[in-house]
Amino acid sequence: MKFATVMSASLLGVVIAMATLSGSRAERDDAGNGKKVYERANCVGCHKWSGVGGGGYGGAALSLRQTQLSHSDIVEIVTCGRPGTGMPHFTADPYKGGACYGLQPDDVKDMMPPDANVVLHTDEINEVASYVVTNIKGRGEPTLAECTSFFGDTSRVCDIYRPKLDAGGASSRHQLPTPTTTGR
């Protein structure tokens, strides 16, 4: 009897460990697919490739790097948009039946979020939220590694993150002119 109990407990432990590993793999897969959704849905248009936000044709987008939003909050915002802002909704008729923020279409009238350029399915919305939480949220300033991960090693977009070398081969990035460097 003890042997059966020990074996059952061991088997349960293996099952839990495998579920945990496959869960984290699923999150990574979601985040990987989420990058494609982030690009296709044109999140980069307002939030930029790095998620820093700022001015865009939809208005001043919030920084996803500094956001305190949870995965589920991001899912809700991508699904419903933000009433009274430029943040579009990425689903068809999101306010029908009070599905978004408990509001009906008549409740938001002039504040209705704009339609997005694409309609996303629930799994795509979850993937883009996973991408934001895994790869953007909580990061500091964008880095060369992040840029090349997004665009590839040969993209000139990432040149602003590469150190500039002077004639002697020394890095001159972030150096301000001084009397010593200007010869005055």
| Half-sphere exposure of residue 29: CA atoms within 13 angstroms, side-chain side | 7
State residue 56 phi and psi, 5-degree precision.
Answer: -155, 175
Residue 58, domain extent: 31-163
Task: Judge whether 75 lies within some domain.
Answer: yes
Lowest-confidence pick of 32-41, 152-161, 166-175: 166-175
User: How does pLDDT run across 97-154, given as a tens digit for each residue?
Assistant: 999 999 999 999 999 999 999 999 999 999 999 999 999 999 999 999 999 999 999 9
Rounded mean pLDDT, 78-82: 97
CATH number at residue 89: 1.10.760.10
Q: Which of these, 73, 77, 74, lies nearest to 91 by C-alpha position?
A: 77
The predicted structure's pLDDT at residue 164? 80
How many other C-beta atoms are found inside a 10 Å radius of the C-beta of residue 132? 25
Task: Judge whether 176 lies within some domain.
Answer: no
Separate counts of helices (H) and strands (E) for the chain = 7, 2
Helix, strand, coil tally for the chain in percent (to 5): 50, 5, 40
Task: Judge whether 108 lies within some domain.
Answer: yes
Residue 24 is classified by DSSP as H
Rounded mean pLDDT, 146-165: 91
Alpha helices by DSSP H, the chain:
2-40, 44-47, 71-80, 105-108, 122-135, 144-151, 179-182
Lowest-confidence pick of 13-17, 123-127, 156-160: 13-17
Task: Judge whether 151 lies within some domain.
Answer: yes
CA gap 24, 1 in Å, rounded: 35
Rounded mean pLDDT, 60-74: 95
Task: Judge whether 17 lies within some domain.
Answer: no
pLDDT at 58 over 80: no
Q: What is the mean pLDDT of the chain?
A: 81
How many domains does the chain contain in total?
Answer: 1
Angle formed at CA 137 by CA 133 and CA 140, multiple of 5 degrees: 150
Task: Judge whether 5 lies within some domain.
Answer: no
